[in-house]
Amino acid sequence: MPVHFEMDEIARLVRVRLHGSVSDADLLAADDDLRADPRFQAEFDQLVDTRDASEGDLSTDALREIARRPPLFSPQSRRAFVVRTDFGYGLARIFQARRGDAAGEIQIFRSLEHAQHWLGKR
């Protein structure tokens, strides 16, 4: 599956990794799966690593759809997106702008290390 998430209950962190060709349907299915996971708690933080995802199959439509859904994360959550390209940065910015602060503070990084440092997680 091109979108994989791990729930680290001790660190209170959801790690999401996108790799290869990710479609809108893949992203929406992963969001549905996370919402249904009984281990998830809204106060968790999130680290989304998109560095291994290829460009082209994912559109802004999926991001807009997820942003329209009820917030999954609490306003106290911190959410870090790690991107490799300007295209990935642009998609993350669209999500950040649409979601706002209702689902936690969102920051975008080019480095995994900087994202982990900002989250206070290693």
Tell me, what CATH number does 48's domain have? 3.30.750
- Answer yes or no: are the C-beta atoms of 15 and 39 closer than 8 Å: no
The predicted pLDDT at position 58 comes to 78
Task: Grade residue 101 by pLDDT with cuts at 50, 70 and 90.
Answer: low
Q: CA angle 98-101-107, nearest 5°?
A: 80
Mean pLDDT of 113-122: 91
Nearest Cα neighbor of 81 from 55, 57, 56, 104 is 104
Nearest Cα neighbor of 82 from 100, 105, 108 is 108
Nearest Cα neighbor of 28 from 55, 70, 63 is 63
Task: Grade residue 1 by pLDDT with cuts at 50, 70 and 90.
Answer: confident
Number of domains within the chain: 1
114: domain range? 3-119
Mean pLDDT of 92-121: 88
Q: What residues contact residue 19 under an 8 Å CB cut-off, 6+ apart?
A: 2, 4, 52, 53
Token reading at 97: 């702008």
Decide if pLDDT at 65 tops 70: yes
The predicted pLDDT at position 45 comes to 96
The predicted pLDDT at position 56 comes to 64
